[in-house]
Each structure stands twice: as structure tokens, then as C-alpha cells.
């Protein structure tokens, strides 16, 4: 079987290769594809070297499947071309997610939305995946009316450039006991050309309520994804969703505080049972022993961790919980490979 990975040298693409090697595809023919600057580069896969090719070369080899994580513009251009040669594309960008004829899939929830002739399948946004997985059985049992979400998102969601920014700032501030609301010319000059920040502000010892681009209504594109994608995956356009996204100096994963209003009353013990029984979810909720989900707990793990499950005492039918997941694993690469596994099994 030939499987292409488009964007193979990027942060998510490299994790896709790890997931393929770990999930039974180590002996398959993997075709890594990337931008021209990476073509010809040798990368490691399952103990052997494979050579990066261009997307055009990957298409010419007619792979059965292609995993994309190379940005929306690349997906818009190349995904249909892969589909034309009979390849099934699982795309991790935002390009196809809200197209009516493209399923948006978390395998544990809605794999049945993928038809037998579907050639492009969308992988949801990282913050959406972990939340809807944690909430899916609660929605089926009690029907969600409204969600109020605050996210605390890892810099890895922005990519390798953000990771390098944090590392450079950590090194800089180890020798300069100064904090600034802006990056500043002095800091740029001292760090040199290797400092190419991904954010308009320092992220070290800082956080900011900004993920994605700002829309005219004041919400960001990251916040709007939580609205649109949640409704599509859970199959309920009536769910009311409002969100605030914050970027935090963490590499282990995204954290989310979620307030859930249901249409009917719930039993708290049953809520805990439903969460614990959800495939791919681990209930980590023991306040007496300081057990609750943290990014350090989720780092490099495929599961979503849920804790701080408690009743909202200010209004009826309402619940609070905290969920954490590695945004590069279940939030991106793991989910894509699980879709691939489900397609092959089916």
C-alpha cells in the first residue's frame, strides 16, 4: 500500500509519520512530500531513510491514501489532484472542513458520515477534536444546548516557528532579567537573525487572548472554528457556542475550560461514567489527591484527559469540566491516522 504524507517535514507531518510507524504502517510504502526547499531531503521512518518528493511526484505514484498537513492553500491546490488519481485524502487544514460535501470526522463519533466513494475527508481543528470527543456521549444522553469555552492553547498549534520563538526567548531571558510588552529592537538585535518570531509579543512568561486572525465581529478564526466544527461533528446546528482562545507558553497540549448547558437535568455520577466510557478519553478527576488533567500529562499521548467535573451551581442543567489533549497527537496526527485505520478496516 502506498501512503503519501504531504507536509511531511512540518511539525504535524513529522508526528503523522511517527503515528503511521506506531499504528501498523511501518512496512508500507510511505511517500513523504513537501515544498521545493525540502525535496530530496532524507528523513527517518520506522528505522529506514525515505526521500522527500514534491506533491506532483507523489501524485504520479498514485498512492491509495494521502495525509495532508501543509496548510489550506496547498490542500486547495493538491487534494483534488490526488483524488483524481483514485487517492483518498485526509486533510488536516481548514480548507475543506465546512464544505457541505466533505465529512468532518472524529472516528469515535461520526465515522459513519464517510461514504464509500468519498475522496476528501477533513480532519477537525485540534481544539475542537478534544472537546467534542470528551462531550460526545454527554450530548447523546442529555443533548447540549449551549457551550461557553475558554482555551489555553499550546504554541505548537502555531508550528515550529513558535517553538523556536519560545526557545530563543527562554535563552534570552536567562541572561536578561527584563520583561517587555513588546519584543523590542534591543532584543531582536541581541538574538540576531535566528530570531524570527511567530507572534507580535513575547510568549515566554506571557500569554495573550489571540489565536488565529480577528474577524469583523471581534472573534478570532480559532474561536469561530469551535462554533462551526462542533455543530457539524455533533450533527446539531442548534447548539449555541461562544469561545475565547488564549495562547500560552506550553508545548504539551491544549487545555480547555468548558461550561455545558444541557436541555435536561443530568446525574453527576452518570456524567462521570459516560466520560470514562468514551473511547479515547481518560477521566482524571480526584481533587482530594490533586488529580486533574495537565498538558504535561497529555504530552505525546493519544488520549484526551478530562477532570474538574462539577455542577455549575448558578443555573440548572449546567456542568463545568476541564479537558486536555496533545494538539499534535489526537488534535491532529493521531486523529488523521485513526481515520485512515477506520477506512482500511471498513
Q: Which part of the chain has CATH 3.30.360.10?
A: 128-157+208-327
Integer Cα distance of 111 and 280 in angstroms? 15
Residues contacting residue 120 through CB under 8 Å, at least 6 positions apart: 79, 80, 83, 88, 89, 91, 96, 102
Asked if residues 212 and 125 have their Cβ atoms less than 8 Å apart, the reply is no
User: Alpha-carbon dihedral of residues 6, 12, 328, 75, nearest 10 degrees?
Assistant: -40
pLDDT at 168: 86
Q: Mean pLDDT for each 10-residue chunk of the chain (346 residues)? A: 97 97 97 96 96 98 98 97 98 97 98 96 98 98 98 95 90 70 62 78 91 96 98 98 97 96 98 98 98 97 98 98 98 98 94
Asked if 263 and 318 count as a contact pair (C-beta separation under 8 A), the reply is no
Give helix then strand counts, H and E, for the chain: 11, 13
Helices (H), the chain: 11-22, 55-60, 72-84, 107-110, 126-142, 160-173, 185-191, 221-234, 268-277, 295-298, 334-345
> What is the per-residue pLDDT for 345?
94
* Largest pairwise CA distance in the chain: 60
- Contact between 213 and 121 under an 8 Å Cβ cutoff? The reply is no
What pLDDT is attached to residue 196? 82
Catalytic residues: 126, 254
Architecture of domain 2-123+332-345: 3-Layer(aba) Sandwich (3.40)
What span, in angstroms and rounded, lies between the C-alpha atoms of 328 and 211? 16
Q: Which fold has domain 128-157+208-327?
A: Dihydrodipicolinate Reductase; domain 2 (3.30.360)
CB 19 within 8 A of CB 333: yes
pLDDT tens digits for range 3-30: 999 999 999 999 999 999 999 999 999 9
From residue 74, alpha-carbon distances to 33, 104, 105, 248 in Å are: 11, 18, 20, 28
| Strands of the 2-6 sheet, one edge to the other | 29-33, 2-6, 65-68, 88-91, 120-122
**pLDDT recorded at residue 178:** 60
Enumerate the CATH 3.40.50.720 domain ranges in the chain, comma separated: 2-123+332-345
Instruction: Please tell me the predicted confidence (pLDDT) of residue 177.
Output: 63
Please, what is the average pLDDT of the chain? 94
User: What's the pLDDT tens digit per position in 144-163?
Assistant: 999 999 999 999 999 999 99
**d(C-alpha 319, C-alpha 242), whole Å:** 15
Q: What is the torsion angle, in degrees rounded to the nearest 10, for the CA atoms of residue 300, residue 50, residue 29 and residue 73?
A: 70
What pTM was computed for the model?
Answer: 0.94
Q: What is the pLDDT of residues 117-144, one digit of tens each?
A: 999 999 999 999 999 999 999 999 999 9
Amino acid at each position: 500500500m502506498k501512503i503519501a504524507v504531504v507536509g511531511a517535514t512540518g511539525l504535524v507531518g513529522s508526528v503523522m509519520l511517527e503515528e503511521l510507524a506506531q499504528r501498523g504502517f511501518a512496512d508500507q510504502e510511505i511517500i513523504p512530500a513537501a515544498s521545493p526547499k525540502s525535496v530530496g531531503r532524507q528523513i527517518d521512518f520506522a528505522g529506514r531513510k525515505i526521500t522527500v518528493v514534491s506533491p506532483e511526484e507523489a501524485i504520479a505514484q498514485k498512492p491509495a491514501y494521502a495525509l495532508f498537513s501543509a496548510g489550506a492553500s496547498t490542500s486547495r491546490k493538491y487534494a483534488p489532484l490526488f483524488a483524481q488519481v483514485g487517492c483518498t485524502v485526509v486533510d488536516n487544514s481548514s480548507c475543506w472542513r465546512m464544505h457541505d460535501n466533505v465529512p468532518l470526522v472524529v472516528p469515535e463519533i461520526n465515522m459513519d458520515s464517510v461514504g464509500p466513494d468519498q475522496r476528501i475527508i477533513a480532519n477537525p481543528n485540534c481544539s475542537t477534536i478534544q472537546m467534542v470527543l470528551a462531550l460526545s456521549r454527554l450530548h447523546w444522553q442529555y443533548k447540549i444546548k449551549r457551550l461557553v469555552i475558554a482555551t489555553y492553547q499550546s504554541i505548537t498549534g502555531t508550528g515550529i516557528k513558535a517553538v523556536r520563538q519560545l526557545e530563543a526567548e527562554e535563552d534570552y531571558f536567562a541572561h536578561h532579567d527584563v520583561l517587555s510588552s513588546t519584543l523590542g529592537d534591543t532584543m531582536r538585535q541581541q538574538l540576531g537573525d535566528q530570531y524570527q518570531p511567530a507572534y507580535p509579543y513575547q510568549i515566554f512568561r506571557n500569554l495573550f487572548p489571540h489565536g488565529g486572525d480577528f474577524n469583523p465581529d471581534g472573534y478570532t478564526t480559532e474561536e469561530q472554528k469551535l462554533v462551526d466544527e462542533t455543530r457539524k461533528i455533533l450533527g446539531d446546528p442548534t447548539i449555541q457556542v461562544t469561545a475565547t482562545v488564549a495562547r500560552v507558553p506550553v508545548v504539551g497540549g491544549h487545555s480547555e475550560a468548558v461550561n455545558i448547558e444541557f436541555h435536561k437535568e443530568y446525574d453527576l455520577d452518570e456524567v462521570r461514567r459516560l466520560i470514562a466510557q468514551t473511547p479515547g478519553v481518560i477521566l482524571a478527576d480526584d481533587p482530594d489527591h490533586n488529580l486533574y488533567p495537565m498538558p504535561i500529562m497529555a504530552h505525546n499521548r493519544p488520549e484526551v484527559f478530562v477532570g474538574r467535573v462539577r455542577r455549575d451551581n448558578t443555573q440548572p442543567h449546567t456542568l463545568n469540566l476541564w479537558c486536555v489533549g496533545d494538539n499534535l497527537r489526537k488534535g491532529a496526527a493521531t486523529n488523521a491516522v485513526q481515520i485512515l485505520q477506520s477506512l482500511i478496516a471498513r
